[in-house]
Structure 1
Amino acid sequence: MSGRIPRQFIDDLLVRVDIVDLIDSRVPLKKSGSNFTARCPFHTEKTPSFSVNRGRQIYHCFGCGASGNAIGFLMEFNHLGFVEAVEDLAAFAGVDVPRELIDGEPGLPDKKSVAHVYEVLAGVAGFYAEQLRGNSEGRKAVEYLKTRGVSGEVARDFSLGYAPNKWDALVARFGQAELIEAGMLVVRDDGKVYDRFRGRLMFPIRDKRKRVVGFGGRVLDDSLPKYLNSPETAVFSKSKELYGLCELLERNSKPERILVVEGYMDVIALAQFGISNAVAALGTATSKAQIDLLFRFTSELVFCFDGDSAGRQAAWKATDAALPCLRDGRQIKIMLLPQGQDPDSLLRAENSSAFMERIRNAQVLSDYFFENIVGQLELATVEGRSQLLAAATPSLEKVPAGFFREMMFARLQELSGARVAVDVVENQARLKSKFNTNKFTPSPRVSLARKVIGLLLQHPHFASLVEREGVVLDDLNFAGVELLRDVLQRIALEKPENSAILLESFRGLSQEKAVKALAGLELDVPAGGEEAEFCGALQQLCKQAKEAMLTRLIEKESREGLMFEEKEVLRKLLRGKT
């Protein structure tokens, strides 16, 4: 398609996509402190020097110096051009790439910032939480939670709320256009709008980066539908998010296993009993995207479903969705609860220890798969074995190449008595990089200017501190001052939400290489101390620059005299010394 990709779309895409998820889907990452690490995909090395930072949304290799944002990674890793990389990133996010019309045709209308949608949703979540605690109408929801044994602590941890039973509770407090974009209002055919959620217990759905992306709402009476979810929006897709994952990761970023349950209240009930490693699909069958997401944080998943007909169907659908995700080293178990029980009722009938024992003893997916696929087939007959092959083979062909796939086909061959051709494809070795680690030497001590610019690139909001500290750069002269001015000017112009967007604004400019290198600087600043470090380094840098200028002007005055402008600068500097 012709036409330029709108810059706003690119910035929104960099907000939408988590660079950790993107890179981990291509280069398996391991958590290391606040970063994620791996052996660099761009040069050969024995120990990991490739680091990905979720907060800044950038990557950096301390071996070869490669660094950048999600777009830059795709360009380097897949050898793509810029447009191709943006298209690939959009495909990863599940969105289409818009184009601005050319040849004098009118352009696309202004696109609302995805970042602003997150702000609106966060505000709505806060409003619902206030209604649960402080609104007399919200007492119904509080009483319901009490009857389910949910404590105030758990309600707080999951930011539970209440949507007033009014048609315009949100419109009176937030902008109508923003609420529509966030999926919080329903627009009628006649153009009138009303609140989507009314008189419901509200469950904010947060993504891995702790942002509210949508809501689930439960009625407090017998009306239908019992549960209602946010619609698909620019920031929310039911098949890609999981309720409770954010809260789980806040407690444990690398859990031993994750329990996948059916609903919001199952997650809440388990948390109430101290089982905090549960998540729930959002009213739909568990998807491949959700399973792949969970495997980024653990190597074992346990699907826990009710033992009724609906629960068994959900378990089988989850098994089918999981097969393409089962690489070697990953494990899935199936845990069907006794008939008529859900996690809450079973925990009350037994206890947490007995429930945890059920989880540990859950049936492995391979046994569950063949047990269900065999079913009532008569394997003693040719017809029965033929039906088994016909039913199992298409599913097993979804399993990625590896030992698990081979063994599943071997089990099928054993059950059917027929020779099964297994096409085991070995993973291609990664292309060797042009980089040689022996060429690189340790970085010299970081100068004050590099530290200031590096911290500013890593934390763009620090730009406001420059004015707060009373720093005026116009009259100062030191190595790097021009780049510092450029970065501050770019931040004022672009107002970037994170480092990835700030780096993107320098793409193709002469400063791009220096900016990428400084954004990846390892500054060894304790977490939480970055602001103080920035202010201290900035003041020290300015002090040194002023002293150097003062010395230079005094020497010039004694040697040959000063111009009028130089005398004014000298006078200002001398006043600052007194």
Structure 2
Amino acid sequence: MSGRIPRQFIDDLLVRVDIVDLIDSHVPLKKTGSNFVARCPFHTEKTPSFSVSRGKQMYHCFGCGASGNAISFLMDYSHLGFVEAVEDLAAFVGVDVPREIGGDFSASDKEDFTRLYAVLEDVAAFYVDQLRTGDGRIAVDYLKARGVSGEVARDFGLGYAPQAWDVLLGRFERDALIDAGMLVVREDGKVYDRFRGRLMFPIRDKRKRVIGFGGRVLDDSLPKYLNSPETAIFSKGKELYGLCELLQKKSRPERILIVEGYMDVIALAQYGVANVVATLGTATSKTQIDMLFRYASELVFCFDGDNAGRQAAWKAVDAALSCLRDGRQIKIMLLPQGHDPDSLIRDEGKAGFEQRIEQAQVLSDYFFDFLAGPLNLSSIEGRSQLMTAARPQVEKIPPGYFKDMMWRRLRELAGSRVVELPEKPSTLNRQFQGKVGKAKTQRPSLGRRVLALLIQRPELAQVLAQRHLSLEGLKFAGQELLEDVLRRIALEKPENGAILLEAYRGSSYEKTVNALAGVELDIPEGGEEAEFFGAVIQLLKQSRQEKLTELLAKEGREGLNAEEKQVLRALLRERL
């Protein structure tokens, strides 16, 4: 679903929705003064620090710093992408999401997707029913032999595809089955069921919709596992088996374990290890890793200890490097030879298996062990080979402390100073941004106060014109951002701060704007205009005084040119 949603619709949606009603339907709110509060859903806390403002249509947590509008809340709370969040928000207020003409999403596409979801849901229910009849006993016996309980089979929706060529065709719409990947079309146009005589694993997306299947044979025939093909609603590199079921049990797991097979997920769930997902027959992708980091800050890759497992682990590490921002951690857990997760947890029990997870090797150690292991680092040649192999990989890591430490570790192992540390990333107005996260008890600086007021109440921009205030000569750490905010307000005319936040989504200013939107200003209701006007006046005076001091110092030191003398005279007249 990649069609563009009209920006005007998103703005109108943010005007129509009441963020208090939305959040209260997920997290019970309690009115305190003019705002509503709750314990933050994004981190663990004993006392409420999560505040929701009906007037601003924004939320902010003074504990963890989370802030945003109604769309941001749904994205973070329900683990949705932007489009999914807009669709859910539209459903909350009872409207349909339009699509812009000319994109690659036609008006009929939504109906087509709905048709695919519906037929896959019906097929999944049909497969579940087949476990109770006829040949389905074969699958039941297999599950019992593997120690899978009826409760776990129910939770994961396990089913059975009968050993027949056209069992689905006689029950469901032919075209829908073809589009959903459930039928194979031969060259002569005839079709037959893709899955036959297999234990079936429905693959669900984050919104609990069936999007595809995995099927396992119950004898020695090949292929052992068969997956649905790529369809309009299913992409193997973007989905993970078991993620839907995991999030239903715990929306914020401490860590997530990534394994290689469907039955690994089922077997571990049977032993009470529920924070497990599996890839869908492909190497772990960057998209999958980024998605998992939305739910947990630690990922553990669990692979067999043979050569294939080690190669799979390295591919996962390679895909993960560009995802490793500070605060994220990846571990590699290689299993003993001859074991898979199912057999290992049977031998060692849940406690032993979880101890192995705790003792798994961190990515940095695995990275250098893998690259340096076959090399002789006592020789120049070996150290040179290590640098050749490691440097392009380390360069993939986003700027931050972790990347700096990886560079230092590489330099230590290579015994060379030629591996120079990269320059520290430059961020816009670093000094100004660094102040944003300070405790709420500290009174905001004058510049932050002006910006926070303007972001929270965009209508205050009118005060500048109404009172004939010119910002000429204004100079402070957040000046560029102020100019940008005023430009966006003039261009987009947002009706509230929530819409202004949406205008900054994906921009270089997004993090700073969101933080300023949550700054507590302690201004009596109705006093925002006077506060804003006074703060701008003070900021202008401050800027002019700084310029006056600068010119006076330069005059005494080296003299002024004609233009500077004119500016100095004007500033002196203003002071008088």
* TM-score bin, normalised by smaller chain: 0.5 to 0.7
Aligned to 1:524: none
- 8 A contact 1:388–1:416 mirrored in 2: yes
Once the two structures are superposed, the pairs formed by residues 310-459 of structure 1 within 5 Å of their partners are 310-419=308-417, 420-423=419-422, 424-428=424-428, 436=454, 439=457
> Within the alignment, does 1:124 sit opposite 2:123 as a pair?
yes
Once the two structures are superposed, the pairs formed by residues 42-53 of structure 1 within 5 Å of their partners are 47=62, 48=66, 50-52=68-70
- 8 A contact 1:36–1:51 mirrored in 2: no
- 8 A contact 2:60–2:68 mirrored in 1: no
Cα deviations by residue, 1:204-260 (Å, 9 ceiling, x for unpaired): 001111111110000011111100000111111000111111111111100111111
The 2-side partners of 1:225 and 1:46 are apart by 51
- 8 A contact 1:44–1:435 mirrored in 2: no
Cα deviations by residue, 1:135-185 (Å, 9 ceiling, x for unpaired): 211011111111111111111110000001111111111101111111111
Counterpart of 1:167 (choices 134, 143, 165) is 165
Once the two structures are superposed, the pairs formed by residues 13-92 of structure 1 within 5 Å of their partners are 33=27, 47=62, 48=66, 50-52=68-70, 70=86
- 8 A contact 2:59–2:68 mirrored in 1: no
The 1-side partners of 2:243 and 2:109 are apart by 33
Aligned to 1:525: none
Aligned to 1:445: none
After TM superposition, give the deviation of residue 42 of structure 1 in Å.
11
Sort the Cα spacing of 1:379 and 1:32 in 2 relative to 1 into closer, same or farther, 3 A: farther
Q: What letter matches 1:128 in structure 2?
A: Y
Q: What letter matches 2:164 in structure 1?
A: K
The 1-side partners of 2:118 and 2:344 are apart by 39
- 8 A contact 2:4–2:103 mirrored in 1: no
Aligned to 1:446: none
Counterpart of 2:279 (choices 242, 264, 281) is 281
Aligned to 2:201: 203
Aligned to 1:574: none
TM-score normalised per structure 1: 0.61
Q: What letter matches 2:194 in structure 1?
A: R
- 8 A contact 1:71–1:86 mirrored in 2: no
After TM superposition, give the deviation of residue 308 of structure 1 in Å.
1.2
Percent pairwise identity: 58
The 1-side partners of 2:278 and 2:238 are apart by 11
Secondary structure at 1:351 match in 2: helix
The 2-side partners of 1:274 and 1:339 are apart by 24
Sort the Cα spacing of 1:36 and 1:381 in 2 relative to 1 into closer, same or farther, 3 A: same
Count of aligned pairs: 393
Aligned to 2:227: 229
Aligned to 1:98: 104
Q: What letter matches 1:304 in structure 2?
A: C
Aligned to 2:549: none
- 8 A contact 2:2–2:104 mirrored in 1: no
After TM superposition, give the deviation of residue 99 of structure 1 in Å.
7.6
TM-score normalised per structure 2: 0.61
- 8 A contact 2:283–2:315 mirrored in 1: yes
Counterpart of 1:191 (choices 180, 189, 192) is 189
Q: What letter matches 2:104 in structure 1?
A: P
- 8 A contact 2:332–2:366 mirrored in 1: yes
Counterpart of 1:306 (choices 280, 304, 307) is 304
The 1-side partners of 2:217 and 2:456 are apart by 64
After TM superposition, give the deviation of residue 110 of structure 1 in Å.
7.3
- 8 A contact 1:44–1:437 mirrored in 2: no
- 8 A contact 2:59–2:67 mirrored in 1: no
- 8 A contact 1:324–1:399 mirrored in 2: yes
Aligned to 1:153: 151
**Unmatched 5+ stretches in structure 2:** 7-12, 14-22, 29-39, 43-49, 78-82, 90-96, 437-447, 460-493, 503-576
After TM superposition, give the deviation of residue 309 of structure 1 in Å.
1.4
Aligned to 1:272: 270
The 2-side partners of 1:151 and 1:44 are apart by 43
Sort the Cα spacing of 1:417 and 1:71 in 2 relative to 1 into closer, same or farther, 3 A: farther
Backbone CA RMSD of aligned residues: 4.1
Aligned to 2:139: 141
After TM superposition, give the deviation of residue 422 of structure 1 in Å.
3.0
Q: What letter matches 1:118 in structure 2?
A: Y
Sort the Cα spacing of 1:201 and 1:308 in 2 relative to 1 into closer, same or farther, 3 A: same
Sort the Cα spacing of 1:138 and 1:358 in 2 relative to 1 into closer, same or farther, 3 A: same
Sort the Cα spacing of 1:168 and 1:326 in 2 relative to 1 into closer, same or farther, 3 A: same
The 2-side partners of 1:251 and 1:33 are apart by 17
- 8 A contact 1:158–1:247 mirrored in 2: yes
After TM superposition, give the deviation of residue 421 of structure 1 in Å.
2.4
